[in-house]
Amino acid sequence: MRVTGIIAEYNPFHGGHQYQIARAKELSGADYCVVAMSGDFVQRGEPAVYSKYLRARAALACGADLVLEIPSLFATGSAEDFASCGVALFSGLGAVDTLCFGSECGDTAPLLRAARYLTGGSAEYEDLLREGIKSGLTWPAARSRALKVLGVLDPDTISLLESPNNLLGLEYCRALLAQNSALTPLAVLRRGNAYHDQGLENGQASASALRKVLSQSPLGLADPAVAPHIPQEAREIFAGSAPLFAGDFSALLNFAISGCIHEGIPFDRFEGISDDLARRLARMALTPAGWEGRIRQLKTRQYTYTRVSRALCHLLLGADARLTAKARTCGYAPYARVLGFNRSAAPLLAAVKQKTSIPLITKTADARKQLTGTPLELLNQDFHASHLWQSVYCTKYGCSLPNEFTQKLTIL
C-alpha cells in the first residue's frame, strides 16, 4: 500500500484542488490520499468560508480518502508552524509515504536545496536577517536579501522563494528535515491562476478570487462566474450552506479586545502578538473598527496584513502563547482527529490504526479518555474555535445548528 499526503485549507475546495489530489496519486503511485486540513479558521488568520465538515466532505467526494484536522493553534499559525504541524501529523500516522504540495515551480530539488541551507543556518545569515527586519523589510524580503548577500544559493533558486506556494513548499521541506521525517517531498506544478490573482478568467481561479466573488455576489455559488471553477460534487455539498467572512467576526473581536482591557489581560499573552504590536493595539483598542479596519490600524511595512490578521485571530480565539509553545514541545500534532473518510478506504484506516504512534480521534465524546494534559488542551482549543464559528454562522443566518455542524464524522 502506498499513501500520499496533502496539507491543505480548501477555502473553498475548487477544481485546482481536485487536480492536485489526482496528480499527487499519479506521480507518487499512491493507492490512497490523506489530507490534513485546516478547521474552521485558516492560516491567513480568518474564518473559513464554509465549515470544516462541508469542506472535508467536498474533498472526499473529489478524490481524497481520509481527512484529518490540523489543530487550530497551528492552522492559524505562521507558515513554519502550519507546515511543521502538517508534517508531524503525517509522520505520526506512520502510513503516509509521500508529502505532495503545489508549487509554482513544480520542482522539489531547488526547494530542498534552500531548505537544507536554511535548516542548517549560520550566524552570518541570522545577523543579516535581523538587520533586514530592523530596516523595515518584511520577513520574506529580509530572507531573500540575506541569501542574495551571502550568495549561498543561485539566483534562480532565490527568485523561486518569492512565490507564495513555493515558500510554503520550502517550509514543508524544512519541517521534513528538522523532524528527520521519513516522508518523501513531491512538488506538483500548480495549475491555474496565481495564488493572489483576483480574476476568474484564464483557467482555474484561485481560492482568494472565489472568496471575493462569494463575498460580493448575491448569487454566491450560483453565480455563473463561479460554477466552472468548483467541481459539481463540491458545489452540491456547499449549496446547502452559506459563507462566512472575517467581517462577520468584527463584533466578537471588539468584544475580545475590550474584555482584555477590562480584565487587565496583556495583549502579548496571545500567540503572534509581540510587545510592539501589543502597544500599537492598546493605543487603538477603543477606536471603533471592523476586522479589516483593525488590520489597517495596525499594519506597517514590518507587520504585514496577514501577520496582523493572524495575531487578531489568535486574540479572538484566546490562543495563549504559552499553550502554543507547549504544543510545539509536544511535537505539534499529539493526536490525529478524523473529520471524514471514504468507505472504500477501509484498508487505509486499518493500516493507520496499526501503524500510528499518536492517538486517533474518531469520536470527540471519547477524546477525554484518549488525551490528557497539553494534547487535551489543544483539542479543547479546537472545540472553542468551532463553537465560535458556528455561533457567528447561526447569528448571521438566523438558524439553529444545521446537520453539518452536529455530524462529527463524515463517511462517504
pLDDT tens-place string over residues 363-402: 888 888 999 999 999 999 999 999 999 999 999 988 765 5
Confidence label for 351 from pLDDT (cuts 50, 70 and 90): very high
Q: What is the mean pLDDT of residues 71-81?
A: 96
Higher per-residue pLDDT: 16 or 143: 16
Number of helices (H) and strands (E) in the chain: give both, helices first: 20, 10
Q: Is 264 helix (H, G, I), strand (E, B) or coil?
A: coil
pLDDT band at 201 (very low <50, low <70, confident <90, very high): low
> What pLDDT is attached to residue 398?
82
Query: What does the pLDDT read at residue 301?
Result: 78
> pLDDT above 70 covers what percent of the chain?
94
Distance CA 5, CA 184 (A): 10
Q: If you average pLDDT over every residue of the chain, what do you get?
A: 90
**By the 8 A CB rule, do 124 and 130 touch?**
no
Long-range contacts of 175-178 (CB under 8 A, 24+ apart): 175/80, 175/83, 175/84, 175/86, 175/87, 175/88, 176/87, 176/99, 176/115, 177/115, 177/116, 177/119, 178/84, 178/119
Residue 80 and residue 220: Cα distance in Å, rounded? 33
> Which pLDDT belongs to residue 194?
47
How far is 134 from 79, CA to CA, in rounded Å?
A: 21
| Percent of the chain clearing pLDDT 90 (strictly above) | 65
Distance between CA 140 and CA 162 in Å, rounded? 8
pLDDT at 15 over 80: yes
pLDDT of residue 394: 92
Q: Which backbone phi and psi does 98 adopt, to 5 degrees?
A: -125, 150
Higher per-residue confidence, 193 vs 59: 59
Q: How far apart are CA 15 and CA 192, in angstroms?
A: 9
- What pLDDT was estimated at residue 366? 86
pLDDT at 352: 96
From 73, 78, 35, select the one nearest 57 (Cα to Cα). Answer: 35
Q: How far apart are CA 318 and CA 73, in angstroms?
A: 10
Q: Which of 94-103, 152-161, 289-298 has the lowest mean pLDDT?
A: 152-161
Residue 91 confidence (pLDDT) above 80: yes
Give the length of the chain: 412
* Burial track 116-135 (b if 16+ CB lie within 10 A, e otherwise): ebbeeeeeebeebbeebbee
Among 70-74, 184-188, 196-200, 364-368, the minimum mean pLDDT is found in 196-200
pLDDT confidence tier of residue 403, bands split at 50, 70 and 90: low
Alpha-carbon span 234 to 238, nearest angstrom: 6
pLDDT digits (tens, 9 = 90+) for 125-182: 888 888 988 887 877 788 888 888 888 778 877 777 777 788 899 999 999 999 999 9
Q: State how far the Cα of 166 lies from the Cα of 187, in Å rounded to an integer.
A: 9
Is pLDDT of 297 > 70?
Answer: yes
Question: What is the rounded distance in angstroms from the CA atom of residue 226 to the CA atom of residue 204?
Answer: 10
Burial status of residue 393 (CB atoms within 10 A of its CB: 0-12, 13-18, 19 or more):
buried
Residue 256 has pLDDT above 90, yes or no: yes
Contact at 8 Å (CB) between 303 and 45? no
Q: What is the pLDDT of residues 26-58, one digit of tens each?
A: 999 999 999 999 999 999 999 999 999 999 999
Q: What is the Cα–Cα distance from 28 to 178, expressed in whole angstroms?
A: 23
Predicted confidence (pLDDT) per residue in 110-127, tens digit: 888 888 888 876 788 888
pLDDT band at 66 (very low <50, low <70, confident <90, very high): very high
For residue 344, which amino acid is it? S
Q: Check the CA dihedral 343-348-354-356 and report its sign.
A: negative
Sign of CA dihedral 80, 248, 254, 317: negative
Q: How far is CA 203 from CA 14, 47, 194, 226, in A?
A: 12, 26, 10, 12
